[in-house]
Amino acid sequence: MSPLQLCVAFSSVLFAVGLTGALARSNSILVLLGIELMLNAANLNFIAFWRYSPAPSPATGVIFVIFAIAVAAAETAVGLALVISIYRHQRNIRLQEATRLKG
Amino acid sequence: MEPRVAYLWLIPALPLLAAGVGCVAPRNGRRLAAGAAIAAMLGALVLSCFALHLALADPSAHLVYNFRWFDLGNGAVRLGLLLDPLNGLMCVMVSLVGLLIFIFSLGYMDADENFTRFFCFLSLFAAAMLCVVVANSLLLLFIGWELVGLASYLLIGFWFHRPAAAAAAKKAFITTRIGDLGFLLGLVWLYDTTGSLLLYDGGNGVLESHVLGDLATQVLAGGLAASTAIGLLIFCGAVGKSGQFPLHVWLPDAMEGPTPVSALIHAATMVAAGVFLMARIFPLAAADQGLAAAPVHVLTVVAGIGAVTALMGAAIAVAQHDLKRILAFSTVSQLGYMMLALGVGSWVAAIFHLLTHAFFKALLFLGAGSVIHAAHHEQDIRNLGGLRSPMRATYATFSVGMMALTGVPFVFSGFWSKEAILHAASEWNVSHLPLYAGLAGVVLTAFYMTRLLCEVFWGAPRSPAAAHAHESPAVMTVPLVVLAVGAVALGFLGTPAWPWLQSQLTGEAVPAHSLLEGGGLMALSIVLVATGLGAGWALYGRRLRATAGADDPLAAAAPRLFAFLGARMKLDELYAATVGRLNTFAAALAVILDRWVWGGAVGFLARFGEFTGSVNRGVDEGGLNAGFDSISERIRGAGRAYSRAQTGETHGYLRALAVAFVVLALLALLGGGQ
């Protein structure tokens, strides 16, 4: 297997683990964790395809990834703030119970 | 132009001011209101004396002061003040008699709780009458005239809590208003024809020769001169105010007011206004005398009405039992004499009688007031009697008044003024009927006054109230004495031997005649007076009424005639049956029109509006609203259905994302293969 295939396989596994975590856990912090894993799988793909492309231009993949990490950090901050306010309302952070905004 | 005439307005203004003071005075400010009223009348009397003095300096002149009231269109409405011997004498008479009546009222109204209001109204009454007297414009005269009507309404209805008084006040107001309508129409017509209502205006006034000539030559349909029509219309006003037949019915009912008011109405102010008005506009009323072709002359009508009134009033007075009502009908009768004198062309005799009558009638009414005051408001002569000894001053002065009214010869003023009227009537070349009516009235007057005197003062008291009567206080008897002196002395101003009054009023020297000229007529009237007095004494004086319930001797002799006269010739009933019923019918018609015709039209419009409104609502609710409602209901349903997808379960959303991702990935793979 070429290194690119290895990287893609690894990121697929990483994505699947993140997806499973996001779908299967009821603790909302762990759901966020799963989402972060999926994001990082995508970042890994960016880096891999940039590194093993036939004529890599300088730093394009890295810049993408840095942007994505910055956005993910902001997103995590918002997510954790939401978690805290959910906790304040219902004294736990179980995602199944946070259904009060349904239509 | 005499500048002092411009201050003539002060004469009515003073009592008006006193009325204002009385109006704002507190209810217990009795001294303030009465003091202001009496002081104002005294001031008016003094000013009137000055005015008379000024007027007598040149009796033939008409001193005027005209001024602009307001502008109207291109012209201006002008009012004016006038001074000549006629209204100078009237001013003095009104303010002097008024003053005495005011002083008398101090005693008479002493116990009344509305004392201040009474003096306020009295002052207003006097002010209005003085305004009538000094006016040089018929418009100003009419303003005063209407104020006289208002004040009389207020005073007749002074005891308005008594239904009879309230009704009498209304009757007086409405009856005189009927006459005033004619007066107003006459004024409008006159203004329309001549463009002025000023009496004297340097040649352009309505009483001056060339305007009168125009009026008399304008001939209307039927050969009637314009001056005849206008004169008759104005005479309507005088008929209403001066209680002439057929509008005399209010005058006897006006007795419901306090007695000083009756004295004021009958002597100085209200009824004198009509006679004064006719004397004032005498040149206008006489303007049509030259027209031989005219179907009717104003003065003929005046004389006819006067004669009928003189005789009728005297006849009704014979059969009355109320002390004041007898005097009231005697006023009606005496006013008839005055109109008669005016009608036969001798306005001077009318004014002479007006002046003497003012004194002796005020005297009689105040004497009656003194009796009523003493007898605790007992007015029925059957229940009085025997007041001669307890009320000596009242008896003496009342007798003077009675003899002046009956025309006892030579000493009393009434004799001379009545002789002047009868003499004028005998010289009237149209008809002698007024003379005969006047002579018959003389007998009746002597008769009923004798009856009154016998029943009230002679014999024994016939009720407890009369038995306990005592003389009134000096504040009431002193005016009586002053008036009694006037009732005697005034006659000597106008005797044929010294016709001072006549020459002053006409402004020409009237030659003196021997006292015995026309002695035949004088002797006849003396005989008639004696007959009346004798008949009265024979029926009422020789055998005095024993009890209050005893039959009247005249009623025993001619019961039906007596009852007919006692019911005032049934004229009130006649009016109730004709005019009253017509009025009721018109009112009923108006109600029907109002309720069904106009009310129906309005109701129909309202129903129509209601109907269109309901149609509108149906369209709105059934059509438009239903359409919009159903559309919005569907939108809402769609929204409700859509909102079910929003479960709020985060895992569900994530699952959906994952499935969608897988599907998109598969589609990309399969599509990428192509």
- Give the pLDDT of residue B516: 63
The tokens for B457 are: 């003062």
How much is the average pLDDT of B42-70?
A: 85
Whether A58 contacts chain B with CB within 8 A:
no
**pTM metric for this prediction:** 0.73
How much is the average pLDDT of B6-16?
A: 87
Alpha helices in B25-114 (DSSP H): 30-57, 85-108
- Give the pLDDT of residue B52: 87
pLDDT tens-place string over residues B307-348: 888 888 888 888 888 888 888 888 888 888 888 888 888 888
Surface-to-core class of residue B54, CB atoms within 10 Å of its CB (0-12 exposed, 13-18 middle, 19+ buried)? middle
Which 3-state string (H, E, C) describes B441-455? HHHHHHHHHHHHHHH
- Give the pLDDT of residue B518: 65
Alpha helices in B500-580 (DSSP H): 500-506, 519-536, 553-557, 559-566, 571-575
Of B26-35, B238-247, B492-501, least confident by mean pLDDT is B492-501
How many whole angstroms separate alpha carbon B290 and alpha carbon B228? 12
pLDDT surpassing 60 at residue B673: no
Give A-chain residues touching B638 at CB under 8 angstroms.
none
Of B80-89, B119-128, B278-287, B487-496, least confident by mean pLDDT is B487-496
How many whole angstroms separate alpha carbon B563 and alpha carbon B119? 39
Contact of B272 with B358, CB cutoff 8 Å: yes
pLDDT surpassing 70 at residue A103: no
pLDDT surpassing 90 at residue B137: no
Nearest to B398 by CA among B480, B485, B482: B480
- Residue A56 sits in a domain whose CATH number is 1.10.287.3510
Concatenating the DSSP letter of every residue in B492-516 gives: GGS-TTS-HHHHHHHSSPPPP--TT
A102 domain-assigned: no
CB atoms within 10 A of CB B57: 11
Contact of B264 with B96, CB cutoff 8 Å: no
- B646:A101 CB<8 A: yes
Give A-chain residues touching B650 at CB under 8 angstroms.
28, 31, 95, 98
Q: Which residues contact B314 (CB under 8 A, 6 or more apart)?
A: B329, B330, B333, B440, B441, B444, B445, B448
B409-442: string of b/e by CB count within 10 Å (b at 16+)?
eeebbbbbbbbbbbbbbbebeeeeebbebbbbbb
Contact of B103 with B38, CB cutoff 8 Å: yes
Nearest to B97 by CA among B247, B260, B275, B295: B260
How many Cα atoms occupy the beta-carbon half-sphere of B79 within 13 Å?
16
A10 domain-assigned: yes
Q: How confident is the model at residue A67 (pLDDT cuts 50, 70, 90)?
A: very high
Surface-to-core class of residue B634, CB atoms within 10 Å of its CB (0-12 exposed, 13-18 middle, 19+ buried)? exposed
First to last CA, chain B: 133
Residues in chain A: 103
A56 domain-assigned: yes
Q: How confident is the model at residue B672 (pLDDT cuts 50, 70, 90)?
A: low
Contact of B510 with B502, CB cutoff 8 Å: yes
Q: Which of B640, B643, B644, B649 to mutate to test the interface with A (most CBs of A within 10 A)?
A: B649
Give A-chain residues touching B659 at CB under 8 angstroms.
none
- A99:B647 CB<8 A: yes
Of B57-66, B164-173, B307-316, least confident by mean pLDDT is B57-66
- A102:B655 CB<8 A: no
Determine the residue of chain B that is closest to A28 in CA distance.
Answer: B650
How much is the average pLDDT of B190-218?
A: 79
A67 domain-assigned: yes
How much is the average pLDDT of B293-313?
A: 84
Smallest CA–CA distance, residue B633 to chain A, in Å, is 18
% of chain B at pLDDT higher than 70: 97
- A31:B654 CB<8 A: yes
Query: Which runs of E-coded beta strand occur in B585-662?
Result: none
Whether B645 contacts chain A with CB within 8 A:
yes
Give A-chain residues touching B658 at CB under 8 angstroms.
19, 23
How many whole angstroms separate alpha carbon A34 and alpha carbon B340? 133
Nearest to B651 among A95, A101, A103 (CB): A95
3-state DSSP call for residue B424? helix
Nearest to B654 among A22, A102, A103 (CB): A22
Q: How confident is the model at residue A70 (pLDDT cuts 50, 70, 90)?
A: very high
- B650:A23 CB<8 A: no
Nearest to A103 among B643, B650, B655 (CB): B643
How much is the average pLDDT of B107-130?
A: 85
Which 3-state string (H, E, C) describes B388-422? CCCCHHHHHHHHHHHHHHHCCCCCCHHHHHHHHHH
A103 domain-assigned: no
* Residue B471 CA to its chain's centroid (Å): 33
- Give the pLDDT of residue A12: 92
A59 domain-assigned: yes
Smallest CA–CA distance, residue B605 to chain A, in Å, is 55
Structural domain total, chain A? 1
- Give the pLDDT of residue B159: 86
How far from B291 is each of B215, B388, B430, B496, CA to CA, in Å? 12, 56, 14, 31
3-state DSSP call for residue B377? coil
- Give the pLDDT of residue B378: 77
A22 domain-assigned: yes
How much is the average pLDDT of B27-52?
A: 87
How many whole angstroms separate alpha carbon B311 and alpha carbon B442? 9
Query: Which runs of E-coded beta strand occur in B253-328?
Result: none
pLDDT surpassing 70 at residue B485: yes
Whether A16 contacts chain B with CB within 8 A:
no
The tokens for B195 are: 């463009």
Give B-chain residues touching A97 at CB under 8 angstroms.
none
How many Cα atoms occupy the beta-carbon half-sphere of B1 within 13 Å?
7
Give A-chain residues touching B656 at CB under 8 angstroms.
none
Whether B655 contacts chain A with CB within 8 A:
yes
pLDDT surpassing 90 at residue B609: yes
Q: Which of A6-15, B314-323, B421-430 holds the top average pLDDT? A: A6-15
Nearest to B317 by CA among B156, B456, B171, B452: B452
Nearest to B418 by CA among B396, B399, B446, B397: B446
Q: Which helix (H) or strand (E) holds B72?
A: strand B63-72
Range of the domain at A83: 3-97
Mean pLDDT of chain B: 83
Q: What residue type is assigned to position B390 of the chain? A: P
CB atoms within 10 A of CB A11: 20
pLDDT tens-place string over residues B617-657: 999 888 888 888 899 999 999 998 888 888 878 888 888 88
pLDDT surpassing 70 at residue B515: no
A16 domain-assigned: yes
The dihedral built from the CA positions of residue B370, B371, B375 and B376, taken in this order, carries a sign that is: negative
